[in-house]
Amino acid sequence: MSAIVLTIKNIFHGIVAVFMLIPILLTMGEAGDPNTPVEVYPDSDNPYITEYLDPDISAHRSGAGIAPQNTLMAFENIVAGADAIGVDTLEFDVQITKDGELVLSHDLTYDSATNAVEAFGRKNVFVSSITLEEAQVLNLGENFKGNGDYPYRGLRGDDIPYNLRVVTCDEIIDYIEANCGDKQYKYVIEVKSIGINGRRAVDKLYSVITERDLEDRTIWSTFAPDVSAYMKNHYPEISRTADAIEAVQFYFYYRMGWDLQDVNPSYVALQIPYGESAFDNLINLGNREMVNYAHKNNIALQYWTINNPDEIRHLTLAGADCIMTDYPQMAYETVSECR
């Protein structure tokens, strides 16, 4: 009899939960109350929570709108134009190669960004399927479009400049640290590799970070829950962002008004979309109430990929901690207008 009663209770609780979720699902796109006051928590020890109206500007994929993404060329542009561009945080993606090198790449394959299909005579040239040396035949600027043109398309062999070839995480960070002068950039590094390759990438990235004493300036992230769990369990001293499951959990706790500390979150930031990146605000994650809820729980909100000046203004006024954008100079100038 007790088992039957328990089953009935579980079914009842499930039905109640569904009915509680319905109003949330129906109102996910609604804007927050513009009259909600900004809540400040001066005792926060989270370095990624910024002052109101002063969000960090992050070069998404190293500033993918102004140079080929995740290339040394893109980082050279950012570092050389540091004063005008106003970047605080450098965001890029890493994956593990066949020979265990940690290289910069967003997609799991090289197909869409490079001449990989031509070079290897097949589709689905996975980053993990070739060595770093083999990847040097690739032109990372092949499909970059700037001002209506493809300025680097067709470059092959020795005509491919070094700063448009596949580059390692070590090389990029060493270049930045050697050329940034007094400026200390923050890093947001996303592990794109999945499964066992994701865990290998995390091990390698941990070494890169700790060998350069960058623990206090680096957040690492992944959308893969198993890789996120590996980060959390093996290297808890490195700050991380919420994975996909944790982000959904955060959202529903916020909407229900529940105490997030009941689940003891171990991440320091959420990286979430807004506006055009969030299906034109089908889900509105950029309101002051949500920012206040995050800050109350000592969590920073970092928004991607924000390339619209109006959206940048909105998020700045809402209290966002970081604007991740393909056009960092535009974002910097837009944020400056809000102060």
Is 68 inside any structural domain? yes
List, for residues 268-308, the tens digit of each pLDDT value.
999 999 987 666 667 789 999 999 999 999 999 999 999 99
Residue 332 pLDDT more than 90? Answer: yes
274 backbone dihedrals φ, ψ, rounded to 5°: -155, 150
| Number of domain units in the chain | 1
List, for residues 56-87, the tens digit of each pLDDT value.
999 999 889 999 999 999 999 999 887 677 89
Domain hosting residue 69, numbered range? 56-338
Is 155 inside any structural domain? yes
Instruction: Read off the pTM.
Output: 0.89
Residues in contact with 319: Cβ distance below 8 Å, sequence separation at least 6, in sequence order? 38, 52, 288, 291, 292, 295, 301
Write down the pLDDT at residue 275.
82
Write down the pLDDT at residue 86.
87
Is 40 inside any structural domain? no
Is 240 inside any structural domain? yes
Is 13 inside any structural domain? no
Strands 89-96 and 102-104: antiparallel
Residue 18, helix vs strand vs coil: helix
Write down the pLDDT at residue 284.
84
Q: Indicate which CATH number applies to the domain containing 220.
A: 3.20.20.190
Give percent of the chain with pLDDT exceeding 90. Answer: 80
Write down the pLDDT at residue 219.
97
Sign of the CA dihedral running 258, 263, 267, 270: negative
Residue 98 pLDDT more than 70? Answer: yes
* Polymer length in residues for the chain: 339
List, for residues 172-211, the tens digit of each pLDDT value.
999 999 999 899 999 999 999 999 999 999 999 999 999 9
Is 29 inside any structural domain? no
Reported as a pLDDT band with limits 50, 70 and 90, residue 22 is low
Rounded to an integer, what distance in angstroms lies between the CA atom of residue 235 and that of residue 10?
37
Is 9 inside any structural domain? no
List, for residues 217-262, the tens digit of each pLDDT value.
999 999 898 999 999 999 999 999 999 999 999 999 999 999 999 9
Is 18 inside any structural domain? no
